[in-house]
Amino acid sequence: MTATLCDALLQKIERGEAKVGVLGLGYVGLPLAVQFAKAGVPTLGFEKDASRAARVGKGENYIGDVEDADLRDVISRRVMEATTDFTRLRECDAIIICVPTPLDKFKKPDMAYIEAASTDIGRNLKPGTFIALESTTYPTTTEDYILPIIERESRLKAGREFWLCFSAERVDPGNKDYKTHNTPKVVGGMGADAQRIAMALYSKAISHLHPVSSPKVAEMTKILENTYRLVNISMINELALLCGKMDIDIWEVIDAAKTKPYGFQAFYPGPGIGGHCIPLDPFYLEHIAKNYNFDLTMINTAGHIDNLMPHRMVIKISSALNREKKAINGSTVLFLGVAYKANIDDMRESPALRIMDEVEAKGAKVIYHDPHVPSFRTDHGHGKTMESVPLTEATVKGADCVVVTTRHTSVDYALVAKHAKCIVDLRNAYDRRDTSPAEQLSHSTISKL
């Protein structure tokens, strides 16, 4: 029976007849679904948010890494559709889970989305279906958490009647060179049949696959990638703070170190680490490490440094205002950028938001300009809607301090330099070694990270 179901699915994939279901049409799921559909694979997107599913159904794009024309094309050709009806999972030959994996208020993995997805799949699973998890999570999730739920709900047996795999997303929002189709993909199937199916399916949409021996190896690979970045960014942030006290330009130091042709990779300082993966992954790892009575000392330290960065940036803002003989209480502070990195609209875990919250709590009037985020709703207290202000001479002159929190290329930093009273540059928008736009500084003072 095993060989029959497995071979039948492999043949269906080879013929291009296997329907792929993608659970969650966000930053990960929508680009993946569109990529499969572009490759001619019948694709069905599942989304709890009815308005989002409706937008996809109309060909309306809301994810920066998806080309508007690509979405319209696959929808118009009916290669792809979106639905809120999870009973339609029964139509799918392969199901890929791309749901959020946030942390709860105690910094522990919130598995509610994965649990709900696994339950929906189990209740609507037909024999001979392949299932892959792409959501970032802790090692052993696929085998120890998802597997029991699906087996219980479906009354089917993994490895015989359905197959499981972990293949983490590697989305880098805004990256112009590496998208879903050409970013190498690590694939860890649970058993030889699962691996064969995973390789056959993903090869339809992804140009390079790297197989590993198990789901937990693939899960640990994802955690390693992001924890590696956390540790190195936290280290460079701490060195940047020290260099500031010693009147050493950390950016010049990094550029000099980069000249070494081996043994060094450049990481750059900033006001904190944003995005979904890097700030959260160490807590996933810490969660599972405790089950093995293991203390992640270095990673805990790196996380501690990252958590302190926004508060340290508030101190920098307060100090800069003090030099202008002003208190933070009662001052107007203009923030340039609320996205977590340049030239995207993604605000997940953005350090700018934490800095703005603390500055406002100290009595300042907080305003922001971000060409990629016209408005957003705060999630603290009762919440409120903030709207991006136009970046004009009057806006800049009206601020007691301007803080560069995201270095969007479309921002007119020369205008800011010309009219700002005080600038706190947390992203090296004003390089000390560059005469432009820094040479246009008239009456403003500038503080660097």
Residue 164 CB: number of other CB atoms within 10 A? 23
Residues 6+ positions from 262 with CB-CB distance below 8 Å: none
CA R_g for the chain: 24
3-class SS of residue 94: strand
CA atoms in the 13 A half-sphere facing the CB of 416: 26
Q: What gap in Å lies between CA 268 and CA 9, rounded to an integer?
A: 46
Residue 277 annotated to the active site: yes
- Do you find a cis peptide bond into 109, omega within 30 degrees of 0? no
Tell me the Ramachandran region of residue 171: left when phi exceeds 0, alpha when psi lies from -120 to 50, beta otherwise.
beta
Residue 121 CB: number of other CB atoms within 10 A? 25
Query: Tell me, what DSSP letter sits at residue 390?
Result: P
Strands (E), 263-418: 332-336, 365-369, 375-377, 385-387, 401-404
Check 6, 277, 401, 422 and give the catalytic one: 277
3-class SS of residue 249: coil
**Strands 375-377 and 422-425: what pairing?**
unpaired
Q: Catalytic residues, which ones?
A: 277
